[in-house]
Amino acid sequence: MPTFYAPDMAPGQTTFLLPEDESKHAVRVLRLVAGDAVALVDGRGTHYTATVADANPKRCSLRITAEEVIRPRPTYTHVAVAPTKNLDRMEWLVEKAVEVGLERLTFLRCAHSERRELKLERLEKIAVSALKQSGQAYLPQLDEMTDFTDFLQEIDPATTFIAHLEAGERTALAQVIGTAPRCCVLIGPEGDFSPAEIELALGRGVRPVTLGASRLRTETAALAAVFTAQVVREL
């Protein structure tokens, strides 16, 4: 069943008009006709079932037939990552992380960052596409670029972990997350966090972790953190 994103849907609403681009896709590409069943998701936890009322390629109208409120996950996964210079790798990360399941993704500006600025418009569209494809009910929060030092002032050190490559004792992320309902994992740029940044984080009470024996690319490490958090809690 085709799924469309409807962030403006309201509970109890009986009809919905697809935007022009979605209408064209529904009628010209998917070849939907009156009576065909479709799904809508608002990104805030509600799934809607609907049928096509008028297959107009510019103003395709839908009739809502049912709605279901999906409970949010009992856990909250937040990953903060320094984006790579190659934007394609961040787009891949957003797509896969949404599919696996997370609640928030923050982009960090670090001392060794190759990318200092980031526009979210393209990434937000990819997140919506991944939301529809994976059947998720909640659209994750994507944050603008934030200076590492500023971000450290916002976090709860008790539930925050930093994955770095410097020498020193580090614990496997899977061992420290356990059944904790919330976690935030910090992933540095290709050149890793600077020694000063690591010292600052540890001084705030953030715990150092490892994601395994392999040296991972930034986007791989961020996805590994999301996957680890979800799998450990499910088990």
Q: For the segment 72-108, what is each residue's pLDDT rounded down to a tens digit?
A: 988 899 999 999 999 999 999 999 999 999 999 999 9
Residues 24 and 129 grouped into a single domain:
no
pLDDT at 166: 84
The residue ranges of DSSP E strands in the chain, in sequence order, are 3-5, 15-17, 37-41, 46-54, 61-69, 76-81, 104-109, 141-147, 160-163, 171-172, 182-187, 207-210
- Same structural domain, 91 and 40: no
Residues 18-42 have a mean pLDDT of 95
Final residue before a domain boundary, out of 27, 43, 69? 69
Domain count, the chain: 2
Domain boundary among 69, 95, 114: 69
**62 neighbors 52 (Cβ within 8 angstroms):** yes
More confident residue, 234 or 1: 1
Domain assignment of residue 48, given as a range: 3-69
Query: pLDDT (tens digit, 9 = 90+) per residue, 157-188?
Result: 999 999 998 888 899 998 888 767 899 999 99
**pLDDT 10s digits, 200-213:** 999 999 999 999 88
Are 185 and 225 in a shared domain?
Answer: yes
Quick one: pLDDT at residue 180? 73
Both 195 and 111 in a single domain? yes
Q: What is the CATH number of the domain that holds 40?
A: 2.40.240.20
Name the 3-class secondary structure at 74: coil
Q: Are residues 88 and 197 both part of a single domain?
A: yes
Q: Are both 25 and 140 inside the same structural domain?
A: no
Q: What is the mean pLDDT of the chain?
A: 94
Around Cβ 193, how many Cβ atoms within 10 Å?
25
Asked if 154 and 227 sit in the same domain, the reply is yes
What three-state secondary structure class fits 139? coil
Which domain CATH number covers 177? 3.40.1280.10
Q: Which residues pair with 142 in a beta bridge?
A: 105
Residue 178 is predicted with a pLDDT of 72
Report, as an integer, the average pLDDT of 186-202.
Answer: 96
Residues 15 and 119 in one domain: no
Backbone angles phi, psi at 212, to 5 degrees: 130, 180
The reply to whether 14 and 81 lie within a common domain is no
Domain end residue (candidates: 69, 94, 116): 69
| pLDDT tens digits along 115-144 | 989 999 999 999 999 999 998 899 999 999
Residues 99, 156 within the same domain:
yes
80 & 61 share domain: no
The pLDDT-based confidence of 4 (bands split at 50, 70, 90) is very high
Query: Does the structure show a pLDDT above 70 at 235?
Result: no
**Residues 136 and 190 reside in one and the same domain:** yes
pTM of the model: 0.91
Token output for 151: 């971000």
